[in-house]
Chain A
């Protein structure tokens, strides 16, 4: 049956007081390669059907991966049985009601129809490039067609469709090892030649790696590194944990926690980025400013916590850090000496209350002196409080699209704290 028919079945047969039916579908074609050959190559579509119900404030959830009638019947029976047997949930909130939702533009027919032969053509171009350099390349090309639909007992009806083409690859030869990646909503916006050129440029700058001492260095953090850093921070940006006193955001709303050059938004205004019609709370999506000129303006909150605190429930649906107009050459000149970081890796929280993280550099570290790159150095471990690092933000480059969920700039940051080094 279709999801609409499944919804009708549930609406007709449900005994519970409330329900939310969520269905998502993912059609994914992926070509994975390593050591200059395709190693895995996969295609298929799968679904996720999730039904949550409530008798009063007793809730139950059932999930399955198809829309056959017996499955939908099982979903309903199972979710209701769980709810009947469950204890009351003191934080239960009734399902969201009807909203007029904005139109979105996240789907591209050409991307959805991108054929397997073209996927392999792209991979082959990357392999031939590596072979010319007597290097090895590994990575993955992916084409996604994603859909989701939501229905609630209180009248919410929403649907989304997305496409994405993404490609990432790592080229390695002896000590030189670097990675590039890009994801776009529309295949027409993807340029494999430009991505290969970017990789070659990074790769060529990594010959003759030298050891380096740990310590504080001014860094030019390229966009991928910036995205990695803030992906992890955003995981801890929650209004509830802040209000409960367990995160660095406690009592920080309205205060200049970050430096005044730093801004962070979820935006509906950039056509290159995903702009959903509704957010995780099933509210119409709109641009949300999380940090403006260094001041924390908002934190994500679910409907229960937002109601309890008397604030609007908002969620993060993409990450946009507005940039500036300073080039990398100008940053090197401004800083004099320091390090250029391509990416960060294995970032984990060290001290949740202080907001301190650790991680490694990855995919290439270059040293610059007197405003010029002088060579590549080994990777380093860093321990740093991210929001305090943003208080030492000296300059911003233009924001760059990394994926439809992420658009961030290069950052020049003073005294980034490196605590150890590795052997490569």
Chain B
């Protein structure tokens, strides 16, 4: 049998076997997610191919809601007997779970059934691109970086992944979903002038195929990346922390919004379900509709239909279709990312479709959707923004990032910093940090560049849950300015 293309019809039968078995064991609701994950990683460090690998993870997880409580069991043996036994085990676990529940237990929002397919649109399937072509491009980039004497470490890895899911639920839903993404990470580290500094490209990927890598043209970017890493070693520092303007480019703002908007508006965190590890949220339900999260120009849209979005999957792992909605509208908190299980706790009878698991053996959890800062309505370029700024710092790329477990206080760094004085970039800086908190930060936003400068930022390593799962979603922004933020050197 072909490991990569096991017969779908056999699996379709197992979907029915699972649903029938779950019902026979007393399920109020059940679903099965058969998931085959195919991945490829090419990891290059200083011209050494540390890991060139191809992998398949194939199995299924069955969720049974019984007596108001969940049971989940998984298996990688594809037979009728194994599926029935797994459904039985999930039901038995649910019976045990029901010993410790609140009142009647879990209630799910109502949902209709769907028969549908979804496939990530792409131009070039990354698994069809010849390995030699990929490796040669990556080696060329690596060599270009290492041709600079002061570059001591050049790292480049690209992960490509396709997930094929067959989903069935006792609502009658049957889904066939194939999603593909690529995720590159490129970094050059310079050692000179008594310092060591890195410059990199991260969060450049997205849902789609190898065209994402082609379009990025890393061969062309490599000399600039090396030069900037070396320049950083010679750059000045900012000195003591003081309040000034901060201009963040999309590649920096992506993670800032992820941590300070995305996680606090996951409803499971709001409800305290992640209290033991990832933490909870200050953005509690009584704030819905009245909490001034940001300035009037701040609008955050969740959109699990976003083209190229990593959370664009057609449907979530509750079998709820992708949707688009406001999380923050005109600066006011108006909604959360929800699942069929979390939504009823705030009086909703519909889910926003944010329940996602990473692997077949993971229980799906309330995830950040594709979430982005809407571009500004006024015509404004990043250069206009700089010209309009007297005293500030512009930050590009990802650096250090840390936030408290209620998502209030945070400190972020960046990958490249420019001092701005009287409307001009004056010098490159290094080791810059900005500190702020919710709601100060987003209320300090006073300018957002227009849609021409909006860019997506792809996160493929969002850690959450116990056991930890690595989720993926896309953010986005145009260059944005924040006034009167604490900015300074480290310590």
**Is chain B found bound to chain A in the same assembly?**
yes
Interface residue ranges, A against B (CB under 8 Å): 28, 30-44, 46-47, 50, 52, 59-66, 70-71, 74, 78-79, 82, 85-87, 89-92, 116-117, 119-120, 123-124, 127, 136, 138-140, 142, 168-170, 172, 177, 179, 241, 244-247, 345-353, 356, 358-360, 362, 379, 381, 383, 417, 419-424
Tell me whether A358 and B411 are in contact (CB under 8 A). Answer: yes
Interface residue ranges, B against A (CB under 8 Å): 1-4, 46-59, 61, 69-77, 86, 89, 92-94, 96-97, 99-102, 105, 130-132, 135-136, 139, 152-153, 189, 191, 195-198, 271-277, 279-280, 282, 361, 363, 400-406, 408-409, 411, 413, 431, 433, 435, 437, 466-467, 490-491
B72, B102, B153, B405: which contacts A360 (Cβ < 8 A)?
Answer: B405
- Secondary structure of the B side of the interface? mixed
B73, B136, B400: which contacts A87 (Cβ < 8 A)?
Answer: B136
Contacts A65-B56, A65-B59, A120-B100 given: A350-B433 contact, CB under 8 Å? yes
Instruction: For A359, list chain B residues within 8 Å (CB).
Output: 402
Instruction: For B2, list chain A residues within 8 Å (CB).
Output: 70
Q: Can you give 14 contacting A-B residue pairs, CB < 8 Å?
A: A37-B102, A41-B93, A43-B89, A44-B61, A61-B52, A63-B55, A63-B57, A64-B58, A86-B49, A87-B139, A140-B276, A172-B275, A244-B189, A356-B490
Instruction: For A64, list chain B residues within 8 Å (CB).
Output: 3, 55-58
Cα distance A288–B378 in the bound complex, in angstroms: 62
Q: Across chains A and B, which 9 residue pairs bring their CB atoms closest together, nearest first? A: A63-B55, A61-B53, A44-B74, A422-B409, A91-B48, A138-B275, A245-B191, A34-B273, A74-B3
A300 to chain B, nearest CB (A): 16
Contacts A40-B363, A65-B58 given: A381-B49 contact, CB under 8 Å? no
B349 to chain A, nearest CB (A): 20
Tell me whether B413 and A350 are in contact (CB under 8 A). Answer: yes
B4, B51, B279, B409: which contacts A421 (Cβ < 8 A)?
Answer: B409
User: Which residue of chain A has the shortest Cβ distance to B47 in the bound complex?
Assistant: A90
Instruction: For B405, list chain A residues within 8 Å (CB).
Output: 345-346, 360, 362
User: Which residue of chain A has the shortest Cβ distance to B37 in the bound complex?
Assistant: A65
Cα distance A351–B94 in the bound complex, in angstroms: 48
Most buried by B among A41, A52, A139, A362: A41
Cα distance A383–B57 in the bound complex, in angstroms: 40
A33, A66, A168, A421: which contacts B58 (Cβ < 8 A)?
Answer: A66
B101, B135, B361: which contacts A37 (Cβ < 8 A)?
Answer: B101
Instruction: For A417, list chain B residues within 8 Å (CB).
Output: 491
Contacts A40-B363, A41-B93, A42-B74 given: A124-B100 contact, CB under 8 Å? yes
Contacts A41-B93, A351-B490, A360-B404 given: A82-B130 contact, CB under 8 Å? no
Contacts A42-B73, A245-B196 given: A356-B491 contact, CB under 8 Å? yes
A249 to chain B, nearest CB (A): 12
Tell me whether B272 and A38 are in contact (CB under 8 A). Answer: no
Cα distance A63–B161 in the bound complex, in angstroms: 13
Tell me whether B3 and A71 are in contact (CB under 8 A). Answer: yes
Tell me whether B100 and A33 are in contact (CB under 8 A). Answer: yes
Tell me whether B131 and A86 are in contact (CB under 8 A). Answer: yes
A126 to chain B, nearest CB (A): 9
